[in-house]
């Protein structure tokens, strides 16, 4: 099937009471529009067109990394009919089915879109509408059917009679339109009461001309609801959270409390991974098999290897944690880091843009930034790589099997050779050769009986003062 996707995203979203464009409101870190785009892309369309308006720049900026999208500009939000008409130019030369989707329908599933397109094809319709049953149809457009049960028009809630308002079958804002009937859009007249051109009017225009139209009532409100208010975004969040969590539950992920875990749409999780409450897995995160993620952890755009353990109150961003590593509690892994197999990053350790080798341990209170640390290194408590001189950042290299004593500072750029030993409390400013000992503390001095002598001195002084007072 030859498909072109058109997403309508030029509306003002007034009902959101927000200065941000409606379609960029985020659901678990991802703008609503991106969910819709993702679904369209899954259908392998020949082209994808997004109709943008006043917020055109902001919307384009969020999609910079996605190729194969053309943007069409609707200067004034004059309605959904006008929006699609603007896209018509960009569809010149395209022959096939134009799938039109409102940009505010983020819960739509691939299976439903496929089923809809198949029905459209099978029934040889020129225009099809995807409808659903809404127990409280509210502001949705109502589907009007003729005696033979064919959809003949869509009446917007504000224009509906009392009887029509009672109809529960409503328009989802998703349409399949054959390219050759696109010229019918030109017949849409201004709706005087709203001052807009309604795309929905194309149904009655087509029907009156004897063009084959119909509505397919598939899918549910939970999937097809449109978002117009902040309250509806909240509802979408809840539905999406439940839907995604249920999916991973089926795939063998174990949740201690499924109601408090937040997983973004593109996240993947391996089987037998156990997830504790209040965990956020966001962006393009991939969690391996048999991992344990303890409470209050957030992982963003990161890959966690099989069998890794992420302990309480840990934040991991843009990094790779390899198999069976252990991170936290209270650890922070900043973007560009790689934590090796079976490595251990303990409490109050911050790692930034650093490679930590396998089996290496940094158990407590450290800052490791711009460092390349080899395998089986011991990083003592309180170790700091001093990577910044106020102007530039420098690299610290620590080779395999090095022992860094507690409370050491490594002033970058500096290199510590394989197997070297840094004495606790050292400030390392020069490279250390392999197998050497480096210490930089002041030599210890012990003065025998110093305390006793001091006490005697204090005692005799007190005696002298008292005698003087008696006199």
Residues in touch with ligand UD1 (CB under 6 A): 8-11, 23, 51, 74, 77-80, 82-83, 102-104, 139-141, 154, 156, 170-173, 198-200, 226, 228
Residue 228 vs 439, nearer CB to ligand UD1:
228
C-alpha to C-alpha distance for 359 and 373, rounded to whole angstroms = 11
Stretch that binds Ca ion, among 29-37, 99-107, 312-320, 439-447 (CB under 5 A): 99-107
User: What character string, x for contact with Ca ion (CB under 5 A) and - otherwise, covers 176-215?
Assistant: ----------------------------------------
Backbone angles phi, psi at 418, to 5 degrees: -50, 130
Nearer to ligand UD1 among residue 228 and residue 347 (C-beta): 228
* CB-based contact 423:405 (threshold 8 Å): yes
Using a 10 angstrom Cβ sphere, with 0-12 exposed, 13-18 middle and 19 or more buried, the burial of residue 195 is exposed
Q: How far is the CB of 45 from ligand UD1 (least distance, A)?
A: 18
> Which lies closer to ligand UD1 via its Cβ, residue 47 or residue 78?
78
- Contacts to Ca ion from residues 359-378, by CB under 5 A: none
Stretch that binds Ca ion, among 21-29, 80-88, 226-234, 319-327 (CB under 5 A): 226-234
> Which CB sits closer to ligand UD1, 45 or 307?
45
Length of the chain equals: 471
- Owner of token pair 């353990």: 309
Nearer to Ca ion, 174 or 267 (CB): 174
| 226 touches Ca ion by CB under 5 A | yes
| Beta-carbon-side half-sphere exposure of residue 390 (alpha carbons within 13 Å) | 0
Catalytic residue among 65, 120, 364, 391: 364
Q: Is the peptide bond before 278 cis (omega within 30 degrees of 0)?
A: no
Question: Contact at 8 Å (CB) between 89 and 6?
Answer: no
Cβ proximity to ligand UD1, 167 vs 432, nearer residue: 167
Site residues for Ca ion, 228-247, by CB under 5 A, read 228
399 binding partner (options Ca ion, ligand UD1, none; Cβ < 5 to 8 Å by kind): none
Known catalytic residue at 364: yes
Count of residues touching Ca ion (by CB under 5 A): 3
- Residue 35 φ then ψ, to 5°: -65, -45
Whose Cβ is closer to Ca ion: residue 154's or residue 275's?
154
What is the smallest separation between the CB atom of 225 and Ca ion, expressed in angstroms?
A: 9
Cis omega before residue 3 (within 30°)?
Answer: no
**Reduced to 3 states, what is the DSSP secondary structure of residue 313?**
coil
Question: Residue 172 CB, nearest distance to Ca ion (Å)?
Answer: 10
79 touches Ca ion by CB under 5 A:
no
Quote the tokens at residue 196: 């807009």
- Least CB distance to ligand UD1 at residue 78 (A): 5
9: partner contacted, choices ligand UD1, Ca ion, none (Cβ within 5-8 A by kind): ligand UD1
Closest C-alpha to 284, from 108, 28, 32: 28
**Smallest distance from the beta carbon of 187 to Ca ion, in angstroms?**
23
- How would you classify the pairing of strands 196-197 and 190-191? antiparallel
Give the C-alpha distances (Å, rounded to integers) separating 210 from 81, 152, 198, 213: 20, 10, 20, 9
The secondary element (H helix, E strand) that includes residue 461 is helix 450-470
Q: In angstroms, give the least distance from the CB of 118 to ligand UD1.
A: 22
Which of 88, 104, 342, 350 is close enough to bind Ca ion by CB under 5 A?
104
Strands (E), 151-278: 151-155, 169-178, 190-191, 196-197, 213-217, 254-255, 261-263, 268-269, 274-275
The 10 Å Cβ neighbour count of residue 403 is 18
Q: How far is the CB of 11 from ligand UD1 (least distance, A)?
A: 3
Contact region with Ca ion (CB under 5 A), list: 100-108, 153-161, 341-349, 380-388 = 100-108
Provide the 10 A C-beta neighbour count for residue 391: 5
Any idea which residues carry the catalytic annotation? 364
Residues in contact with Ca ion by CB under 5 A are 104, 226, 228
């Amino acid at each position: 099937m030859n498909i072109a996707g058109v997403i309508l995203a030029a509306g003002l979203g007034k009902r959101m009471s927000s200065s941000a464009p409606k379609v960029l409101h985020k659901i678990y870190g991802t703008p609503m529009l991106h969910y819709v785009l993702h679904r369209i892309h899954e259908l392998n369309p020949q082209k994808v067109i997004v109709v943008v308006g006043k917020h055109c720049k902001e919307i384009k900026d969020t999609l910079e990394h996605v190729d194969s999208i053309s943007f069409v500009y609707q200067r004034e939000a004059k309605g959904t009919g006008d929006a699609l008409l603007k896209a018509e130019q960009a569809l010149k030369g395209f022959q096939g089915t134009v799938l039109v989707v409102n940009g505010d329908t983020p819960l739509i599933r691939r299976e439903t879109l496929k089923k809809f397109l198949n029905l459209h094809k099978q029934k040889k319709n020129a225009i099809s509408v995807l409808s659903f049953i809404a127990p409280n149809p509210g502001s949705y457009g109502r589907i009007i059917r003729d005696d033979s049960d064919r959809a003949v028009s869509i009446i917007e809630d504000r224009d509906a009679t009392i009887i029509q308002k009672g109809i529960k079958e409503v328009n989802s804002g998703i349409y399949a339109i054959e390219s050759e009937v696109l010229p019918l859009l030109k017949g849409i007249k201004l709706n005087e009461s709203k001052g807009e051109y309604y795309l929905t009017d194309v149904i009655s225009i087509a029907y009156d001309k004897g063009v084959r139209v119909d509505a397919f009532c598939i899918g549910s409100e939970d999937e097809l609801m449109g978002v117009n208010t902040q309250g509806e975004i909240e509802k979408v969040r809840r539905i999406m959270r439940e839907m995604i969590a249920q999916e991973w539950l089926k795939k063998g992920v174990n949740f201690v409390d499924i109601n408090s875990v937040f997983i973004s749409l593109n996240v993947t999780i391996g089987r037998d991974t156990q997830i504790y409450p209040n965990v956020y897995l966001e962006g393009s995160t991939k969690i391996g098999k048999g991992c344990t993620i303890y409470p209050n952890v957030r992982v963003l755009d990161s890959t966690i290897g099989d069998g890794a353990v992420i302990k309480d109150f840990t934040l991991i961003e843009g990094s790779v944690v390899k198999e069976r590593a252990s991170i936290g509690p209270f650890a922070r892994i900043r973007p560009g880091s790689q934590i090796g197999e079976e490595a251990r990053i303990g409490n109050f350790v911050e790692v930034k843009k650093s490679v930590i080798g396998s089996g290496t341990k940094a158990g407590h209170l450290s800052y490791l930034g711009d460092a390349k640390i080899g395998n089986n290194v011991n990083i003592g408590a309180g170790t700091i790589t001093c990577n910044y001189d106020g102007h530039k950042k420098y690299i610290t290299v620590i080779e395999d099997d090095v022992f860094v004593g507690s409370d050491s500072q490594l002033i970058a750029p500096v290199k510590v050779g394989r197997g070297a030993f840094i004495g606790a409390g050292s400030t390392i400013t020069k490279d250390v050769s392999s197998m050497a000992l480096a210490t930089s503390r002041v030599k210890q001095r012990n003065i025998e009986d110093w305390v006793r002598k001091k006490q005697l001195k204090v005692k005799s002084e007190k005696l002298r003062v008292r005698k003087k007072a008696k006199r």
